[in-house]
Every structure is written in structure tokens, then in C-alpha cells.
Structure 1
């Protein structure tokens, strides 16, 4: 089956300017890209003045299945991904049971294939049951399909265990994706250890809880040579450490979330659990360091850390509610509106951090629009402004601090392996209801 997208806009690789292009999809592959294409056999879709990008890639999501299907399932999570323009997502292992065995990996891949909304790349656990005591069979996990290892949700507290994990991962060519958190500093905290915590008498989580683990792991990884990737980096100290490691030529990479780029603890209006995430929203100075790190290449990619919870869980108050917010359906509009339209980032920089760079980090053959490549594509309306409406989410999660925020840059169509998995018509039907 052929599909022809007519009169779209693409970013020219050389000039970084928008140019008019038609794109012909033949089966799962991009067959042709040109200023004018005619093909009577193809189903034609008019996308005049809409931006066409490679399908977004998110290296950090929580699909919750198996074990927490009341929060999210592989089907609902990947449908949310499609709505947000994502065609590839890497799911974290802190499920129940964790992704620490071959059958769990196989189950996830099978359910993702059945759903058909987006490509799911499982990330295997570093330790059995994520307890930090015994390494998983990483070789078997890799053969089953994991693309990296992580104990995300908890930091690996033992330096000895982390060093052993890095040695094993290095031998297998697997990245170590680290949730950096020293429990002796972070335990019991619910927000950043800053002015907001003091104002409301809440126990804070200091920046050092993250940066101490970043420093430790960089030193361990330097000795071993493993690809070490920092999850959801949030502090100025951590950015500095990653920058120094890169300057030495070390294979250290990092991701940052939309919420850490756009918010700081000063933006929390009151003890509202929708603003509770881990790592927490840090200071304005930290936020500025994150933006600078993203611009200068210290931070490689943007990842959502999509973390759905039930509303009942999130209504338990700032201290008792679980950490996390959803992000798949709002990432691009929020970043485009608040960073690109304000001049902090260029459109080309934003797209690169959500497509080509994450593909390069994990050695994936995606993230580019080119003839002969897989037809993973996102069509975006850069001009229409609409509010973020959690009731319209395809994710089971409604936990976002951005509800009611007006944003531009909504994905209106998503193509995964040449098949249209999202169409703007679904949005408008929901909004009218």
C-alpha cells in the first residue's frame, strides 16, 4: 500500500530552514522525498503547511505493565505515545515483576506488537527484582531484546554492585542507564530542598542526592569504558560533572525531561502533588543550567519520564502521593511553545534532541527522514493553539501540572512503519464531547 503526503514542510538538513516537500510511503518504507511527487496508486493525504518530522523517540517511559495496569498498559501507553508523535519508546523495568527475566521481555514485546501504536524497546533491570543484591542475566536479557540496563526507580546503592554491573554491560555492549539517587540523602523527601520546602515545612531532597551518584558512576565508568547514561538529570552539579566527563572523551550521555526544563520549585503554587516528581523540580539556577547544558550538547536528549498514576494516588497529598507526571502527549507542544517560540532553542535543535540523537545514543536505525528508511513520521501543526486537557489524554494517567496551559505545536498525525496510528480528528471529537 502506498501513501502520499502532499505539500508538507520539512527541515532542510543543510540550511535548517523549512522547505516544501511531498513524501511517498510504500509499505513500511519512505520511497521518495521530493518537491513534487505524483503517484496515482497512492492514497493522497494533504498536509499543507504542516511540519513533517521523524517520529519522536523517548528513551524513558513507564508503561506500568505488568503489575500496575490500573495506572497504564502497554496499549494505552503506546496509544498516548502515538498521540504525542512518538513512534519509539523505551520502557523502564520497575514493573511488577520487574523486567529482570526473559519471559517478561517477551511478554512486553508481544503486547506492543499486538497494540501496534509504537515500537517498544524494553530496558532490563540491573539487579534481580531491583533489590540491588544480585545481577540479572544480562546476556539472556539482551538476546531477548533489551536495549540497555537500569534499575530506574531506585538508585543502585552499592558501588561494588554498580561496578560489577558496568563490567558485565560493557562486555555485552549494553548502555548502563542510571537513576542517580543516594538514599541516605533522599529518603523521606518529597520536594527539592529549597525555598518551597522551607515555606511549607516539607522534607527536601538535596541536589547532592543526585550528583553524588553521578560523580561515583562517572568514575566507575571511566575505568571500565562502558556507555553510561544519566537519567532525568536535574541539578547544576550533575550537568557540570557530565560536561567534564565528556571533555575527557568519556562515553557519558544524559537526558533531561520537559518538566525540568520548564519548571523550578519556585513555580509550585502550593503543595500540589501534580508537581511532585523524582528527581524533584529544583532551583531556578538548576533549571538554567539544564537549558544551557541542552544547548551546548552536554545533555544529549530529551526524554519524558512518562510516569502515570491514578488520580486517587495523586490525591493523597504532597508527602504521601507517588512521584511522577505523565508527559508523552504534551512534550513537543510544551517545549515548542516555551523554548522554541521564545528563542531559547531552535526548531532544528528541538527536533534533533527528540529524534536523531536518541537514535544515535542507543544505535537505533530510526530518527531520520530519508529515502529507504522506515516510515516513522510525525505531522505537526505549529500554528494552532489549544489548552492541555487531561480528560482528552489517551494515557490512563491524568497527573500533569500543565493542565489548562495553552500551547502550540500539536502532533496531528503519526505514522509508525508506514501506518497512520494517530489522526487529529480523534482530538477534535474528544474536545467536542
Structure 2
């Protein structure tokens, strides 16, 4: 029996709040949490030094570029970045080359992840073949092969009949469908959010209404089919009202938001820096504030990195032509701690959205500090200041909007199943 005692810790439990004490791990699981735990013979002891110990982050929507684009990110590099960022479970996207739309492709990425990544990896599968929106994948076979959820990512299924058939079949099997709320016609080619700022910068823009229209369509089909549905990113105040109505109506709906839309706004693209080009585009400050308040209230359930590696060649282009996306596995926690230091969210609220809510949505036992939960843990100092240098990131791609930013919060250790996978 392997036993590890974490002593002198500031325990951050998304469900139970914040406390001071110790946590005992036995054989990869949390065995006990309390003040009166004392070390015994043969027990490994970790002195947390009064720093924060929280459940490891469960990150929904990580892009790992295997198969097809290993030069951008591999399971090995993404796993190292995740461990360094306190992410203990990566839920990976199927928008690879080729798309993950068959059991064979899914089994390949599962095997590669198990070989190369030090953290847990749960792959998602495409909803339609080739993510082309024309023909449903074999949802049952992919579930049997281990698909965590089904999504076409930002390739929105425009044929509502095809979409409804997919959701009806997913409902019959209890599968989770993840949608990208966006009207693809309105948002095509957009590099910014509509408004005075985008007009002054001469950038092609998309109205916030495109997100609400996409969500309206999705929620109507969810109501018709009864499927379990998660919106990957809700970033506008207009869409939040629709989300609230859907939850009040009893639909099985949850929603997420990326860390970039919670901590940055449209003014950050003022210098045309392509590292700030993400999808959907950064929103107004009013929208950002609305999203933060929605996380605080629980209306938005999940905060994710939406980690999207892009190589230098695809970013060193005019803003309008550059690829969208930013890496965020290592910056997710320190960027999220901006919301703690600003007083917008408490640490338990933050880890409710980073760990507990995504774990619950996926039916995972983690995301909590309680006896019987897996010992997936992150130890961090929320006050440690540093200036981010993108060259030090463990991801193969370095496209972070936080390059040169002053951040607070360093990961001091990450454990998966009781085994330490990161030490600075």
C-alpha cells in the first residue's frame, strides 16, 4: 500500500469550501481529509507550506494535433504542458487530420495518449463523418471505444435535419453532445466582434447575435430530442439570457467559456497581434463582465483553456488572414487566478468551474477533495508573481496572448492517481 500525507495545506474544495488541514492518499485515492491526520511509519509526507491544494483541473476542449499535425502539438508535449499547468485530465477535441470519427482512429489516439501523456486523456469523437455535417458517425461503436462526448467543434452542422438525427440517436444512448453556438453564415471570415472598435480597425466582424442565433437553434433541437448538451463557449450577454431560460425549463444543458474570454476583451487586439485572435473573437468588456458574473452564479458551468496550438507560419500573417486559436494549458490556472485576485471569484468557485463541474458533466469521479475520489491534485501558490515568457512553455506551439504578461499563481506540484507528474 502506497500512502502519502499532504500536511499544512490550504484545502480548496469546490463543494466544501476552503479550510486548513491535511489530506491522506492511499493507493491512488483520497482516503481522508481533516485536521487531525498525523504521519505514520512508511508514509510519504508532503509539506504544503500553507499553499493551496485543490483537485486537478479537468479541461474540456483541448486540441492535440495528433494525428496529422504533430509539429504543432503532440500528446507528449501537451501532457507535459498540462501537468505543469495543474491539468490532470485533458478532454481532447476530434478536429484532427483526419477527424476522429471512427473507432479505429479513436483507439489510435487513446493508445498514443496512454503512451505519451503523464496526465489522464479522454478523447472526444466527431458528431458527423469528417466533421462535414452530412452523415452521422457510428455513435454506439465510438461510445464502446471510449468516446467521452461527440462534437464537430467549430464546424457547425448546418443541416438541422442531420443535426436532429444525430441528437436523437445520441439521446437514445445517453451520449453527451458538445455544440459550438454560432451561426456559421454570419461568422464566416470574421476576425473581430462587430462594433465601433472593429470598424475603426478595419477588421471583418461578426455580430454577437450570431452566437445567440446558433444557441437558439441548438436549444430548440435539444428540447425536441432531450439530449444531454453542452455549449463549448458562451461569450456574450445576449446568449446568456437564452441559456438561463433553457436551464429554468429543465433542459439537460450546461455551458462553458474559455479563459481568454473571461480575462481579455476586444481592445486587446488593438495592435493587431495575432496571438489575440481566437474563435469566437474577443468580445466587449460588457460581455466579458457578464460572462464572469455567469461563472460566479453557476449559470456558466465550466471554464476551459480551449487550447488550440498554431505554428509560427499560420500566425505570422495579417490579422485578418492569421489562424485563430491560442495555447493555454499552462496559462489556464494563473490567468484564472486574475479573477480571484480581482475579487470576482473565490477559489472554491474557481475550482467548481475548473474541476468539479466538468468532472460531473462527464460522469467522472474526480473534481473534489473527498474520501474515495481519485488523488488527482494540484498544489499551487496563488500569490507568486511572474512574467510569462512564451519561450518557456512546454507546448510545441507558443501562440499565447499572455506573452510578457504579469501573472500571479505558480503550480508547485501536480499528482495523477497519487503519482507526482510535475515538480518545478
TM-score range, shorter chain: over 0.9
Determine helix, strand or coil for the equivalent of 2:141. helix
Shift of 1:191: 1.6
Q: Residue 365 of structure 2 aligns with which residue?
A: 365
Shift of 1:127: 0.5
Shift of 1:12: 6.0
Distance 2:415 2:104 in 1: 29
Distance 1:80 1:216 in 2: 36
Q: Residue 56 of structure 2 aligns with which residue?
A: 55
Shift of 1:6: 2.3
Q: Residue 285 of structure 1 aligns with which residue?
A: 286
Q: Residue 296 of structure 1 aligns with which residue?
A: 297
Q: Residue 270 of structure 1 aligns with which residue?
A: 271
Q: Residue 386 of structure 2 aligns with which residue?
A: 386
Determine helix, strand or coil for the equivalent of 2:54. strand
The correspondence of residues 114-193 of structure 1 with structure 2, limited to 5 A, is 114-193=115-194
Distance 2:190 2:247 in 1: 31
Q: Residue 428 of structure 1 aligns with which residue?
A: none
Flag the 1:12–1:369 CA change in 2: closer, same or farther, 3 A.
Answer: closer
Shift of 1:276: 0.3
Determine helix, strand or coil for the equivalent of 1:383. strand
Distance 2:344 2:77 in 1: 33
Q: Is the 8 A contact 1:315 1:321 kept in 2?
A: yes
Flag the 1:10–1:210 CA change in 2: closer, same or farther, 3 A.
Answer: same
Shift of 1:303: 0.9
Q: Residue 253 of structure 2 aligns with which residue?
A: 252
2:18 aligned with 1:17, yes or no? yes
Determine helix, strand or coil for the equivalent of 1:408. strand
Flag the 1:119–1:13 CA change in 2: closer, same or farther, 3 A.
Answer: closer
Determine helix, strand or coil for the equivalent of 2:404. coil
Q: C-alpha offsets along residues 180-230 of structure 1, whole Å, 9 cap, x if unaligned?
A: 222211112112122332112111122222221100110111111111111
Distance 1:349 1:94 in 2: 30
Distance 2:47 2:14 in 1: 23
Structure 2's unaligned 5+ residue stretches are: none
Q: In the comparison of the two structures, how many residue pairs are matched?
A: 422
2:375 aligned with 1:375, yes or no? yes
Shift of 1:33: 2.7
Q: C-alpha offsets along residues 333-379 of structure 1, whole Å, 9 cap, x if unaligned?
A: 1111x211111111110011111111111111111122222110000
Distance 1:201 1:310 in 2: 25
2:77 aligned with 1:108, yes or no? no
Q: C-alpha offsets along residues 235-276 of structure 1, whole Å, 9 cap, x if unaligned?
A: 112111101111111111100111101111123231111110
TM-score calculated relative to the size of structure 1: 0.94
Distance 2:117 2:316 in 1: 33
Flag the 1:13–1:318 CA change in 2: closer, same or farther, 3 A.
Answer: closer
Q: Is the 8 A contact 1:132 1:161 kept in 2?
A: yes
Distance 1:199 1:254 in 2: 32
Structure 1's unaligned 5+ residue stretches are: 425-433
TM-score calculated relative to the size of structure 2: 0.96
Higher relative contact order (CA 8 A, sep 6+): 2
Shift of 1:116: 4.1
Q: Is the 8 A contact 1:82 1:118 kept in 2?
A: yes
Q: Is the 8 A contact 2:3 2:25 kept in 1?
A: yes
Q: Residue 414 of structure 2 aligns with which residue?
A: 414
Distance 2:373 2:241 in 1: 36
> What is the CA RMSD across the aligned residues, in angstroms?
1.5
Q: C-alpha offsets along residues 37-94 of structure 1, whole Å, 9 cap, x if unaligned?
A: 2122122222211111011101111011111111101111121111110111111110
Distance 1:72 1:394 in 2: 10
Determine helix, strand or coil for the equivalent of 2:17. coil
Shift of 1:300: 0.7
Q: Residue 341 of structure 1 aligns with which residue?
A: 341
Distance 2:279 2:18 in 1: 37
Determine helix, strand or coil for the equivalent of 1:260. helix
Q: Is the 8 A contact 2:10 2:18 kept in 1?
A: no
Moved over 4 A (4+): 12-15
